[in-house]
A and B are shown apart, each in its own frame.
Chain A
Amino acid sequence: MARAKKTKKKVVKDKQIGCSLLWDGRAKPFLPGAKREMKPVLDKDKCVKCGLCYLFCPDASIRRVEDGYFEVDLDLCKGCGICNRECWFGSIRMVKEV
């Protein structure tokens, strides 16, 4: 006889204060960057790896990769352009999203 399966309780991981859940308990993933118009693109030749973009990003979408450069998480980025303006060396430019 087929037994009724025990349903496990879903554990919510990476829950952060004041923020809505990205994946758990949703029919569709919630992505803040879905309505973005412009996206930042890094020019690695000009980058000095100072980390100003990481410091000022309001969405916490920029993180450091192992080789020292910085990467944008496009699920979280809203395309405000603060990283473009604050970069001293002009290594980030905004490109229109297709």
Chain B
Amino acid sequence: MDRFSLYIPNFLPQAEYFGKGHTACMGCGLAIGIRLVYKVIGENIKKGKWDIPWKIGIFGVKGENEEAKGTSLFQIDKGDGKFTICFDYEGVNDLGVIKKHIPTLAVAEDFDYVGTASIGYPFDLIDKVKRAMESKGESFLHILCPCPTNWGFDPDATIKVGRQAVESNVYPLYEVVKGIYRVTIEIPKPRKVEEYLKFQGRFKKAKEEEVKQVSQTVAKEFQKIKEKV
């Protein structure tokens, strides 16, 4: 057994900046996302360079910004621009949630770095945070964080759902550096969208026609990204 000493912690920063005594539900995807992001950014907290707020605010409570409904945003001043992180837990339980694409808004506003990440692929997430911090100018990162209580699945399946979303092309992982697209994780044989929808309790009442429509729009959106590469 000693031959297989892989030691994943060796590839990670050791210090913990988030985690002791938070009051999130068990199996919270948001907590995993914040913990991984803080592991990368966290060294600079204690030097006093940046102030990292816990939560700026949940947008769309009064219906001001409908695109960012049900997400929480973090903003960091890194000197030469702002770095915005959007933790998306999809607080609105419609099938329309899947159709919206927040990162495309950031691409339209000429951000220097735009990326999407999921908790199911943690090392991909860590790489993207590093690249966003190094880029000069404004950068944006959109992270999918499954929420067991709201979405309706067992708390131990959080990471499985995060992985399923990528494997079924519902949530493709890509990055845009100065207008150039690149798909970071390519899936040779994508899974069916039905598997992803039926696993969650919030879509149990969805009709078959609606599921078909969603799977068609997912395929369309994925092709749009593939054409831009």
Whether the Cβ atoms of B27 and A30 lie closer than 8 Å is no
With A17-B45, A60-B16, A80-B156 as contacts: A32 and B9 at CB distance below 8 Å = no
Residue among B1, B19, B45, B160 with max Cβ neighbours from chain A (10 Å): B19
Whether the Cβ atoms of B8 and A32 lie closer than 8 Å is no
DSSP majority for the A interface?
loop
Number of interface residues of A (CB under 8 A): 35
Stretch among B32-40, B58-66, B87-95 lining the A interface? B32-40
Whether the Cβ atoms of B55 and A18 lie closer than 8 Å is yes
Whether the Cβ atoms of B22 and A32 lie closer than 8 Å is yes
Category for how many chain B residues contact A: 35 or more
A-contacting residues of B (Cβ < 8 Å)?
Answer: 1, 4-9, 12, 16-24, 26-29, 31-32, 34-35, 38, 45, 52, 54-55, 122, 154-160
Could you jot down 20 A-B contacts, CB within 8 Å?
Answer: A16-B16, A17-B52, A18-B55, A19-B18, A19-B19, A30-B21, A48-B1, A49-B6, A50-B6, A54-B8, A54-B9, A56-B159, A58-B29, A59-B19, A61-B19, A64-B9, A78-B26, A79-B26, A82-B155, A85-B157
